[in-house]
Structure 1
Amino acid sequence: MWMYLGLLAALFLGLHNLCKKHAVQGNEVFPVLLGTVSSGFIFIASFYLLAKVYPDYALNNGYYFQDISYKTHAYIFVKSAIMASSWVLAYQALKHLPITIVTPIRSAGPFFTFIGAIVIYKEQPNFYQWIGFFLIIFSVILYSKIGKKEGINFKRNKWIFAIIGATFLGASSGLYDKFLIQHVQLNPQTLQFWFCFYTILILLVILSITWFPFPEKRKAFKFRWSIIAVGVLLQAADYFYFKALQDPEALIMLLSAIKRSQIIIAVVLGGIIFKEQNKRKKLVPLAGILIGVFLILYS
């Protein structure tokens, strides 16, 4: 069951990435990020308020919110700091790079998760899973060759390093999620609510330095419907992902790989909608990534 929940998370993540590309195009990145997290928080907060007003109904329908200790709040704040850093880097990179380049690099995230799962959680991969992960990495390198044809030098372009850093931090957060869900025993909605709350506080601090004091930057910001869509879609994806992690048999290395199937939406539909270059050539490494994911899932 947890694998199917992972596929649902991938579906919403793929749609989320398309909306995110639309939201950041020609726009100020940090207020867009604040807007997406805030819209997601409002979405979750509506359920939080319902749970407080009708606690019995919330308990019977599976969306009750836990009362947590200060120590647990600190754990969640750490996750917020990690993901805020990852998102700041990822949004800046997405603004300056094609989605058909950014998404495949993000696909290397399972490799970092894979190593962490072995070292931290002692998850045991088999021979085909090793092949699958290295096939994903090779495919990402192939994407870098195609990216040079679009004027993107992977050795000198700072946004490439930004998306790599975002990928590493995102993978670290994924490993941390398993700790929060299975060891701290947070339910998905409680984690989502407080995670969004602390992330908003962190982003407000960043914007108070980089955006609020500058009138020209405030005027350059364009509100778009996709900002709200990004926040809601991400919360839906996270909910299914955290529900999958609640299963004691769920392997974080496999869930991380399953989520990469979102690239079908991002590369195929994204290439069409945003009219990006070399779409056919990108289908070759895309196939490599999909085969890698297939080997991991069905080995």
Structure 2
Amino acid sequence: MWMYLGLLAALFLGLHNLCKKHAVQGNEVFPVLLGTITSGFLILLPFFIGSVYFPEGTKELGFYITRIPWETHGFIFIKSMIMAASWILAYQALKHLPLTIVTPIRSAGPFFTFIGAILIYNETPKFLQWIGFFLIIFSVMLYSKIGKQEGIHFKRNKWIYAIIAATFLGAASGLYDKFLIQSLTLNPQTLQFWFCWYTILILLVILSITWFPYKEKRKAFKWRWTIVAVGVLLQAADYFYFKALQDPEALIMLLSAIKRSQLIIAVVIGGLVFKEQNKRKKLVPLTGILVGIFLILYS
């Protein structure tokens, strides 16, 4: 069952990436990010209020947000800091790079998760899983050659390093999620609500220095409906992902790989919508990534 929940998370993540590309085009990154997280928070806020005043009804719906100790709040705040840094780097890179270059680099995230799952959680990989992961990394290297044809030189472009760092932090957050869900026994909606709250606080501090004081930047900001869509789709994806992690048999290395099936939406549909270059050539390494994912699932 947890694998199907992972596929649902991948579906919403693919749609989320398409909306995110539209939201950041020609826009300030930090206020867009704040708008998406706030939108997701507002979706969860009625459940928090219901959990306080109508606990029985909220429990029946399956969206009860539990009370947690301050120590657990601290652990969630650490996740918020990790993901805030990852998103800031990823949004900046997405603003300056084609979606069909950014998304496959992000697909290397399962490799970092794979190593962490072995070292931290003692998850045991099989032979085909090794082949699948190295096939994914090789396919990402092919993307670097295609990127040069679009004037994107991987060694000299700072946004490439930004998206790599964002990918590493995202993988670290994924490993941390297993600790939060399984070791601290947090339910998905409780983790999502407080994670959004602390991330909003972090972003408000950043914006108070980099955006709010500057009138020109505030005027340049363009509100788009996709900002709300990004927040809603992200919460849907996270909910199914965390529900999958609640299963004690769920392997974080496989869940991370399953989520990469979002590439089908992001690369194929994204390439058509945003008219990006070399779409046919990018299908070759995309196929390699999908074969790698298949090997992991098949094994």
Answer yes or no: same fold by TM over 0.5. yes
Partner of 1:258: 258
Instruction: Give the C-alpha shift of residue 53 in structure 1.
Output: 2.9
Distance 1:262 1:31 in 2: 25
Partner of 1:211: 211
Partner of 1:133: 133
Structure 2 residue runs of 5 or longer lacking an equivalent are none
Distance 1:195 1:239 in 2: 12
Amino acid at match of 1:221: F
Amino acid at match of 2:161: F
Poorly superposed stretches of 4+, deviation over 4 Å: none
Amino acid at match of 2:163: I
Distance 1:279 1:78 in 2: 38
Query: What is the CA deviation profile of residues 62-101 of structure 1, one whole-angstrom value per residue up to 9, with x for unaligned ones?
Result: 1111110010000000000000000000000000000000
Distance 1:184 1:26 in 2: 41
Amino acid at match of 2:77: F
Matches within 5 A, 1:150-299: 150-299=150-299
Instruction: Give the C-alpha shift of residue 50 in structure 1.
Output: 2.5
Tell me if the contact between 2:47 and 2:65 (Cα under 8 Å) persists in the aligned partners. no
Distance 1:222 1:84 in 2: 21
Partner of 2:96: 96
Tell me if the contact between 2:26 and 2:95 (Cα under 8 Å) persists in the aligned partners. yes
Partner of 1:143: 143
Query: What is the CA deviation profile of residues 159-207 of structure 1, one whole-angstrom value per residue up to 9, with x for unaligned ones?
Result: 0000000000000000000000000110000000000000000000111
Amino acid at match of 1:135: L
Amino acid at match of 1:231: G
Amino acid at match of 1:106: R
Amino acid at match of 1:270: G
Amino acid at match of 1:245: L
Aligned residues: 299
Amino acid at match of 2:133: F
1:110 corresponds to 2:110: yes
| Secondary structure in structure 1 of the residue aligned to 2:243 | helix
Distance 2:288 2:175 in 1: 25
Distance 2:212 2:181 in 1: 36
Query: What is the CA deviation profile of residues 187-231 of structure 1, one whole-angstrom value per residue up to 9, with x for unaligned ones?
Result: 000000000000000000111111111111111100000000000
Instruction: Give the C-alpha shift of residue 46 in structure 1.
Output: 1.9
Amino acid at match of 2:183: H
Partner of 1:72: 72
Partner of 2:33: 33
Identity of aligned residues (%): 80
Tell me if the contact between 2:51 and 2:66 (Cα under 8 Å) persists in the aligned partners. no
Distance 1:46 1:142 in 2: 46
Distance 1:296 1:158 in 2: 32
Amino acid at match of 1:186: L
Taking structure 2 as the reference length, what is the TM-score of the superposition?
A: 0.99
| Secondary structure in structure 2 of the residue aligned to 1:250 | coil
Amino acid at match of 1:116: G
Please report the RMSD computed on the Cα atoms of aligned residues, expressed in angstroms: 0.5
| Secondary structure in structure 2 of the residue aligned to 1:128 | helix
Distance 1:32 1:237 in 2: 19
